[in-house]
Amino acid sequence: MTCPICNKPTVEAYKPFCSKRCTDVDLARWFNEAYSAPVIEIDDEPDEEPSPANDN
């Protein structure tokens, strides 16, 4: 098994990575992706009934 970041042999302590640095790299990558990913989740909640116009 090799480190997905730099393809060096995996180190048991940092599986599946080879070093703390690579775990950090992967985490940062994941984090950035999570951040840059567009939020397309649409709430499927029913619309609230519009409150009657109080035009007084």
| Interface positions, 1-56, toward Zn ion (CB under 5 A) | 3, 5-6, 8, 18, 22
* Rounded (to 5) percent helix, strand, coil in the chain: 35, 5, 60
> Measured from the CB atom, is 5 or 41 closer to Zn ion?
5
Shortest separation between residue 30's beta carbon and Zn ion, angstroms:
15
Structure tokens at 53: 């116009």
> Measured from the CB atom, is 6 or 27 closer to Zn ion?
6
**Containing H/E element for 20?**
helix 20-36
Shortest separation between residue 8's beta carbon and Zn ion, angstroms:
5
